[in-house]
Structure 1
Amino acid sequence: MIARTLSALSFFSSDYLRRTFNVDEDIVCLQPLFNLSRSSPDNKIHLSLVNVERETAGGIQFNKTSISGSYAQKGAPSWMLNLYIMFAAVFSEKQYEESLQLLSALFAFLQTNSKFTIPQSNITFNMEPVNLSFNELSNLWSINGSNYFPSVLCKVRVLDIDSEEIKQLQRVVSQKEVNT
């Protein structure tokens, strides 16, 4: 589900940028930020997973659904996850201004389309930018072993992870039964 979500987000944003700037090639690619170098940038916007966090605000609810009039199935509680992702404009120094133009257009796209639905799936998510201090930003880029590139960190809110595995079948009691 994580890969499908990030692939779809990469496709949606790349499609928007291709149409906006009238280019044929993909501009956004799903690629890690690890060891990026200014000496060999690929002139693309990289979309990378930075962190996964469990959302606890909704509480924990077991999945219980009725199968028939007399039985119900019970599954493990689903996990509600938030993904922290980064869009980074990995361009050469000569194309710095172009990278900022693409990043600005990407911001406009993300601001306008903060809710996404992936076609032919039940995946829907919201997205919002995340503020980082200079120290946090420096640490994030240092962990990846890379130089800084213009970027934005976003939070993909509440992905519902549920394998829908049945853990238990229960008989539903619909009326009092008296055994004499």
Structure 2
Amino acid sequence: MIFDRSWYNRAGVERVMGFCTPEEVQKFLDGAPMVERGMVESGIILLKYWLEVSPQEQERRLRDRIDDGRKIWKLSPMDIKSFNRWDEYTAARDAMFAATDTAWAPWFVARSEDKKRVRLNIITHLLSQIPYEALPVEPVTLPKRKIGKMKQTNFPFRFIPEKF
């Protein structure tokens, strides 16, 4: 099961943008570890990742969205409203970590300046956290291939360009 911010919106976006009260934030921060403990005790492997990005890289990505018609759909009014709230988001992150980084459900921070690298690093880390048992592999032997008298067709195939 993967949550993309939704579980922690109360501690981040809702807190910073004033969509909830400080009391509601605190109630969430107090309750989240208990809910997560229940999940882990029921057998769920709970992995929490925070994708850390610099303000410079965040600004570059937002400008790319503004300047590239193919990416503008990714830009939300909330992105613009929250652009100058870096310090508030940093404080919210730090409070969230302090309240919810537990032995049973720790936060893992992934540097995400390079999207390809962070994806590969998270996939590698996630897979390393999942216990698995090597299954026996039955040997496979290909039979001798029987190719008849069929000749290559002269149909004018439209091959795509090979760029890679």
Which one has a larger percent helix, Structure 1 or Structure 2? 2
TM-score if structure 2 supplies the norm length? Answer: 0.28
Structure 1 length-normalised TM: 0.27
Determine which structure has more spread, i.e. the larger CA radius of gyration. 2
